[in-house]
Structure 1
Amino acid sequence: MTDREQIVEAYLRLDREGLNRGSSGNVSVRRGSDGLLISPTGIDAARIDTASLVELGLDGRERSAGVPSSEWQMHAEIYRHFPETHAVVHTHSDACVALACQRMDIPAFHYMVAGYGGNSIRCAPYATFGSAALASNAVVALEGRTACLLSNHGMLSRAANLPAAVTTAIKLETLARHYWMTLQLGAPTLLSDAEMQEVHERYKVYGRARMAG
């Protein structure tokens, strides 16, 4: 599957899963060392196709026709700062937006928070959509993490490939919903740093085949 086909498939899946509606959210993949391919601005799942995607340099210079997502700077800044990242997904999924509008980090209320790289999922400070300030805030929030929330906005995930970035976004929406639900009962009991460290150690071998002998 080509990069263009992967982006269209990811865009459609995010719509099917309810993480994005209408023209909200955007998806990109890295192109070489200095470029990216990104979904266009203002397009919904019913109209997106491979020809509508826009290629541009990390400096914003367009390499193909079309108008890129207004959030292209955020994607470009992530690729500049995290060379291991080859795909970025941004959504306005319900539970993530609800927490982001409260400007809340997701703390270690559940061990699966460790799966995003640390003992919390950070919420980046607010900045206007499409701005350089938002891009900078997102990079700081993603340091050592594979996902973050964006205050009064939505969420971001990054990964080595697009299917992984989409999966991360879907799992984060589930985790955010679980956190929102437990807050309805009161402040949850958080796992300690020591308990989370044990989880991080377990994650290093999680999913690997058990060694014989």
Structure 2
Amino acid sequence: MNEASLRRIIVEIFRLAYARRLVDLLGGNASARLGGDEVLITPTSMPKTLIKPQSIVKIKLDGTIVSGGNPSSEWRMHVGIYRVRDDVKFILHTHPPNILALTRAGLKVDLSFSEAISYVGEIAEVPYLKPGSAELADAVARAVSKKNITAVILRNHGLVTVGSTPYEALNRAEVLENLAYITLLSNCLTR
């Protein structure tokens, strides 16, 4: 896929994530791997509904800005994942409310529903670490370095999903958010 197409898809995926309430107007971020050591990533502090293909920032894996404005404050997390997983082509970081509520309640996402495990793969979890920090980036990269991990729950923060396509990463976030809702609801009903 060429750069112009990837820029359009990042905008589309992010608008879909916003429409599905996986992110707030200014929260979350997404990136796509370009060839070589370059990454396209959403800009920092821009409303999701205003992001355009030309708003997307191009950076190198070392964080150097190639073009565009300022990248998401979570750029370290994105490049850390790309460094440890060649098969990851797209990363979506969301703040899904049901996942956050579930982990806050000390519960785990139940992957036994339907074909969820085939969509999601395996989930890792990292403790709360300051958003945008090198410590968070390192913890997520370590978790994702295991080949079967396709999602990482960031306690009291959000969710990171990865995929070979943007739609795979978004679908994983949606499936996990729906499973979190089902798990919360079923726990309430059985008490």
Q: Are 1:158 and 2:174 matched, yes or no? A: no
CA displacement, residues 52-81 of structure 1 (integer Å, 9 cap, x when unaligned): 110001110110130000001111111111
Q: Are 1:138 and 2:140 matched, yes or no? A: yes
Alignment correspondent of 2:171 = 167
Gap runs ≥5 in structure 2: none
Match among 70, 85, 89 for residue 86 of structure 1: 89
Comparing both chains, which one has the higher relative contact order based on Cα–Cα distances under 8 Å and sequence gaps of 6 or more?
A: 2
**In 1, Cα distance between the equivalents of 2:98 and 2:187?**
12
Gap runs ≥5 in structure 1: 188-213
For the residue of structure 1 that corresponds to 2:39, the secondary structure is strand
Scaled by the length of structure 2, what TM-score is found? 0.88
Q: Which has the higher mean CA deviation after the structures are superposed, 3-12 or 45-54? A: 45-54
Give yes or no for contact 2:152–2:160 (8 Å, CA) kept in 1: yes
Identity %: 33
Cα 1:122–1:185 shift into 2, 3 Å:
farther
**In 2, Cα distance between the equivalents of 1:42 and 1:178?**
32
Give yes or no for contact 1:105–1:149 (8 Å, CA) kept in 2: no
Give yes or no for contact 2:77–2:132 (8 Å, CA) kept in 1: yes
Q: Are 1:39 and 2:34 matched, yes or no? A: no
Match among 61, 65, 68 for residue 62 of structure 1: 65
The structure whose Rg is larger is 1
Superposed displacement of residue 17, structure 1: 1.2
**In 1, Cα distance between the equivalents of 2:101 and 2:24?**
15
Cα 1:51–1:103 shift into 2, 3 Å:
farther
Provide the alpha-carbon RMSD of the alignment: 1.9
Greater strand share, 1 or 2?
2
Cα 1:34–1:101 shift into 2, 3 Å:
farther
For the residue of structure 2 that corresponds to 1:21, the secondary structure is coil
Aligned length, in residue pairs: 185
Superposed displacement of residue 34, structure 1: 1.2
Scaled by the length of structure 1, what TM-score is found? 0.80
